[in-house]
Structure 1
Amino acid sequence: MDMILITGGAGYIGSHTILNLIEKTDYKIIIFDNLENGHIETVNTLLEINSKRQRRADARIIFEKGDLRNIEDIENVFNKHSIDGVIHFAAFALVEESVKNPSKYYRNNIYGTLNLLDTMIKHNVKRIVFSSTCATYGNPQYTPINEKHPQNPINPYGYSKLAIERIMDDYDKAYGLKSIRLRYFNVAGADEKGRIGEWHEPETHLIPNILKANDVKTFTIFGNDYDTRDGTCIRDYVNVLDLAEAHRLAYEYLLEENKTDVFNIGTGEGYSVKEVFDACERVLKKKIPVEVKGRRAGDPAVLYADIGKVKNILNWKPERSLEDSIKSSYLYFCKNKK
């Protein structure tokens, strides 16, 4: 059975993908994370979940602390373990921060990935699933956005992900490295048992920030004058467990087909900020304090995915609703307020 290296496995999407692999496969897993944004508590929870599923506590999951910017760290992991493939999440992912500090994003996201890819080639590992983003598309020329939409990022985060996609094209041609790139739209939700979930510092995602609003902390809507059905931005929210399933299917597609491809991952429909806010109030069964401020620079009015390709080729489709995502996020929030 394959051994998969999961970079950024202590983070939000990486940890839920590992949970999916624990529960649905027999793959051996190496979690590689520098814990700068990921959390050792999340790693420990995954190790505990794994040990309960085994008749004995074996070494099916191994944690290796390291940084992709340090070539020795990643080289040591490949020397120690017989790795068959990679699922690559490790990256900085805050759009606003990337504008203020592009060097941090280019050095970490691009240089770190180059170290990973070069080490893979050196050790004859030729399969990688890459966590890309709809931010590579930039401002939409049309919606829903399909995989053929022009890629014109408007911030360094999006540029860094697009650069990696281009590098992977070149590595495929030169070295035969096959990659699946998953371009996600907005990700939401948590493990439905509340064991792992969304834990960012600072938190920038919409739903956790609505759930954290209270008498002291007010939720802010940025702009209510967009050309949309209620004046607020419309986005596509895919559940993190559905997204994790897409990563498993993408890896297995690489095993079977051994060819490079790209897929949008979303739900194929959009919800406005106000609709998400109203759904959160229904789940919480209480009013949430809110204030409206002006638009943020660079926020398109409407973004949602065309997911026809991933449905047809990977046989993947979203299974969970927006309210399912909110309920699981709230469960995790309540269980882990500390």
Structure 2
Amino acid sequence: MDIMDYRRRSQLPRKLFLAAGITALCFILFRQTGFNSTSQYFSRKEPGITHVLVTGGAGYIGSHAALRLLKDSYRVTIVDNLSRGNLGAVKVLQQLFPEPGRLQFIYADLGAAKAVNKIFAENAFDAVMHFAAVAYVGESTAEPLRYYHNITSNTLGIVKAMEAHDVSTLIYSSTCATYGEPEKMPITEDTPQDPINPYGKAKKMAEDIILDFSKTTDMAIMILRYFNVIGSDPEGRLGEAPRPELRDQGRISGACFDAARGIIPGLKVRGVDYKTPDGTCVRDYIDVNDLIDAHVKALARARPNNVGIYNVGTGKGSSVKQFVEACKKATGVSIKVDFLGRRPGDYAEVYSDPSKINRELNWRAQYTNLEESLSIAWRWQKAHRNGYSS
């Protein structure tokens, strides 16, 4: 669905959405009441326990990060405004880790400075994993100001709150989109950053804020620039469930699955005249489980007065046509494909050189088979035809 068409719809769906939002908020507040009895755990530091704030922890990547952190015995606070995230993912995590002092969920918008300051004042965080962000290239070209506010301004707010409340470690979720369309492949951390769309530009601005601030502080900082994320939890507990109105903006894996399930009539491949072997874009597809493993290793290796910048990818590129063929095999469905013109803001070829993160963090991608990663994600999709609501 085109986002501009969505905006032109009647006010009735918006009223229904508002009513649903109020109901959801009441439910959230009710759930938070249950956390009040355990707030003592989150408001104080305890020897041997690392308390991590996961912004955007109800989203696709953030929820997988929260799951891994909880499995590894971290204490976790999720902050999310649910504009892109799913309350259902938080409920799954609550059910898996119901013990007092393990998981806390706070409904809040990072754009509200007073709310952010209150969260930091009332909780004893040791580290922040900052995932919260709008993250669609096409949408960023249509709504650039939204992206600069949501990504750049909100990151500034997080860093200011960390400084004010002496939170010493930041793991920042960045993107290969900051590199734009480099002349040479593969991309190293020294490749010049020249983003070509508002999403990449907003992320680079946020990086610049963090890097400039790092010169005045002893904070431990890790910036992870990752590539195209696919896959889901191998045990089937979490998956990707974007808002219906954003399906047309989302990841290619989501579009492939929607086509395989008959939600949409077919898959739209945008751009077949790029200077690549088969004319379609080439991307480095990183499994979400590998991505989160990189974040956890970055957290463990973060040191005061140090900034680490790492690409997180497999080191090989696959074309969109190759991706679609892998998706067909993973789903067992002959997906109809329509080839269309280019999408604004896209680039022809991007894949990583992960040698630095291999060497310094002892991290290597384990899920490097496209069909295998897509098969795992497909199982979750089939079991959750209506997302987390099912």
Measured after TM superposition, the shift of residue 300 of structure 1 is 2.1
Return the match for 1:328 from 354, 370, 376. Answer: 376
> RCO greater where, 1 or 2, for CA within 8 Å and sep 6 or more?
1
Q: What's the RMSD between the two structures over aligned residues?
A: 1.4
Q: Show the counterpart of 2:253.
A: 207
Task: For 1:221, give the aligned amino acid.
Answer: V
CA shift in 2, pair 1:297/1:100, >3 Å:
closer
CA shift in 2, pair 1:258/1:175, >3 Å:
closer
Percent of paired sites with the same residue: 39
Measured after TM superposition, the shift of residue 258 of structure 1 is 5.2
The answer to whether residue 295 in structure 2 is matched with residue 247 in structure 1 is yes
Q: Deviations over 1:1-24 (max 9, x none)?
A: 11111111111111111111122x
The answer to whether residue 58 in structure 2 is matched with residue 16 in structure 1 is no
8 Å contact kept, 1:237–1:271: yes
Return the match for 2:280 from 213, 227, 232. Answer: 232
Gaps of 5+ in 1: 52-56
8 Å contact kept, 1:171–1:177: no
Q: Which structure 2 residues correspond to residues 126-145 of structure 1 after superposition, within 5 A?
A: 126-145=168-187
8 Å contact kept, 1:120–1:126: yes
Taking the aligned partners of 2:102 and 2:108, their CA distance within structure 1 comes to 19
Measured after TM superposition, the shift of residue 175 of structure 1 is 2.5
Return the match for 1:89 from 112, 131, 139. Answer: 131
Q: Show the counterpart of 1:119.
A: 161
Taking the aligned partners of 1:229 and 1:334, their CA distance within structure 2 comes to 33
8 Å contact kept, 2:54–2:78: yes
Q: Show the counterpart of 1:197.
A: 239
Taking the aligned partners of 2:309 and 2:366, their CA distance within structure 1 comes to 21
Measured after TM superposition, the shift of residue 291 of structure 1 is 1.4
The answer to whether residue 329 in structure 2 is matched with residue 287 in structure 1 is no
The answer to whether residue 362 in structure 2 is matched with residue 315 in structure 1 is yes
Task: For 2:254, give the aligned amino acid.
Answer: P
Taking the aligned partners of 2:121 and 2:271, their CA distance within structure 1 comes to 52
Q: Show the counterpart of 1:187.
A: 229
Q: Deviations over 1:105-129 (max 9, x none)?
A: 1112122111111111111112100
8 Å contact kept, 1:140–1:300: no
Q: Show the counterpart of 2:349.
A: 302
Give the TM-score normalised by structure 2: 0.82
Taking the aligned partners of 2:269 and 2:228, their CA distance within structure 1 comes to 17
Taking the aligned partners of 2:154 and 2:274, their CA distance within structure 1 comes to 38
Gaps of 5+ in 2: 1-48
8 Å contact kept, 1:85–1:128: yes
8 Å contact kept, 2:137–2:345: no
The answer to whether residue 101 in structure 2 is matched with residue 59 in structure 1 is yes
**Secondary structure of residue in 2 paired with 1:210:** helix
CA shift in 2, pair 1:26/1:252, >3 Å:
same
Taking the aligned partners of 2:100 and 2:385, their CA distance within structure 1 comes to 31
The answer to whether residue 141 in structure 2 is matched with residue 99 in structure 1 is yes
**Secondary structure of residue in 2 paired with 1:260:** strand
Taking the aligned partners of 2:335 and 2:294, their CA distance within structure 1 comes to 33
Taking the aligned partners of 1:227 and 1:103, their CA distance within structure 2 comes to 31
Task: For 1:6, give the aligned amino acid.
Answer: V
Taking the aligned partners of 1:77 and 1:312, their CA distance within structure 2 comes to 36
Measured after TM superposition, the shift of residue 59 of structure 1 is 2.4
Give the TM-score normalised by structure 1: 0.94
Q: Show the counterpart of 1:159.
A: 201
Matched pairs, number: 331
Q: Show the counterpart of 1:54.
A: none
Measured after TM superposition, the shift of residue 229 of structure 1 is 2.2
Taking the aligned partners of 2:281 and 2:327, their CA distance within structure 1 comes to 16
